[in-house]
Amino acid sequence: MNDVSLCPACGAANTCSLADPRTATQPCWCYAVSIDPSVLAALPAHLRDKACLCPRCAQVLDQLPPAEPACASTDS
């Protein structure tokens, strides 16, 4: 897997701001969480340090702020 926007563990979007040129100047969500080193060590060596894990595979969903709700349409 060579796509840095995908989680190396499951292939889902990792939402890494650094992997997207439009948001590359913003810090990644992973800067604000603590990822257990054993989670990273469980990855095969050839997949480590290539791309961010997604929040689910990094096992940090409980450390992230809740997602913003989608804007509801006010058209009647």
Q: Which domain holds residue 35?
A: 17-62
3-state helix/strand/coil string of the chain:
CCCCCECCCCCCECCCHHHCCCCCCCCCHHHHCCCCHHHHHCCCHHHCCCCCCCCCCCCCHHHCCCCCCCCCCCCC
Mean pLDDT of the residues in the chain: 81
Q: Does some domain include residue 1?
A: no
In a domain, 11, yes or no: no
Residue 30: which pLDDT band, with cuts at 50, 70 and 90? confident
Beta-carbon contacts of residue 10 (< 8 Å; ≥ 6 apart): 54, 56, 57
The answer to whether residue 72 is domain-embedded is no
Quickly state the pLDDT bin for 73 (edges 50, 70, 90): very low
For the cut 80, the answer to whether the pLDDT of residue 62 exceeds it is no
Number of domains making up the chain: 1
Residue 25 has pLDDT above 90, yes or no: yes
Instruction: Tell me whether residue 23 is in a domain.
Output: yes
Determine, yes or no, domain membership for 57: yes
Please give the model's pTM, rounded to 2 decimal places: 0.70
